[in-house]
Structure 1
Amino acid sequence: MVAQVVSATTRFARGGVAKQTTFLAKASVLLSDAIGQYQRGEFEDSLESAYRAGLRTAGARVAASPVAKKVRKPNSVWEQLMLVDEQSAQWARQFLTYSRIRSRVASGLTDNLDTGVVQELISLVESFLDEVEQQLEGLAHAA
C-alpha cells in the first residue's frame, strides 16, 4: 500500500475554497434580495440583506486565509478581515461604518433611513463580492 501525501497547502486551499464557495453563494442570494427590496421601497430590509451579504463575503475572504486557522481570533468577522491583509482591512473599515447604521435601524433609533446610504452599501457589497469571487477563481486555477 502506498501512502498518500497531501501537502498542508493543498489541503488548506481545498477546504478554504469549499467554505468560500458556500459563503459566496449565500452572499449572492442576499445581495439579489437586497436589490429587489430596494426596488420595492423596502429600504430597511434592503439594508439588512446587503449588510448580511457583506458579512458572508467577508466570511468567504477570511475562510480562504490563514486567519481561519487561528485558534485565538476576534469574534467579529470585520475584525478577522482586518487581520487578512491591508486591502481586506480597508474593506472592513468601510463596512464598520454601515455596522453602526444597521444597528441603529434595527434598534429603531433611526426614523428616516437615507436611501442613498442603502444604495451605497449595495454598491460596496457588489464591488467586494466581485473582488472576492475573482480571488476564488485565482485559488481554483492555482489548485
Structure 2
Amino acid sequence: MDDSIELKVAVEDQQASDEELQAILATLAMELENQEATVTTAESSSKSADPNYRFMGDESSSLLDIKINLDTLKDVSKWLYERLVGTTTKVKFKYGDLEFEFEGRNDQDRQSAQKDFEDFVSKLEAAKQAQNG
C-alpha cells in the first residue's frame, strides 16, 4: 500500500520580507524534494487556504502542495522545527479538516510541538486508512 499522502503546507512570517519568505519556502521545497516528496506551488484560491490565515505577499507564494511518505514527513518536521526555533515563522500543515500549526518559539517548546505533530501524523494515517477502506 502506498503510504504517501497529499497535504498543504503554508508558511507565514509577518516580520519577513517577501524575499525572505520566498527563501524559506525554497529551502523547504528543496528539503522536501530531497526527501523524495513531490512539491508544487498551490493554486491561489480562497478555497485552498484558510481565510483567517494571513500570508505575507501573494497567497499562492506562501502555500505548497506536497505528496510525501508519512515516515518522511516526521523526519522533515524535525528538520523544519530545528530551523525555526527562535524565529517568528509559522508553518501550518493541512489535510482536509486536519490541521497542525507551529511556530519557531523556543527550544523548550520542541518536545511538546513534536508530540503534537506525531499526534497529527497519527490522525493523518487514520484518515488515509479510512479513505482507502
Do they fold alike, i.e. is TM over 0.5? Answer: no
* Structure holding more strand per residue: 2
* Structure holding more helix per residue: 1
TM interval, short-chain normalised: 0.3 to 0.5
TM-score between both structures, scaled by the size of structure 2: 0.36
TM-score between both structures, scaled by the size of structure 1: 0.34
Greater C-alpha Rg: 1
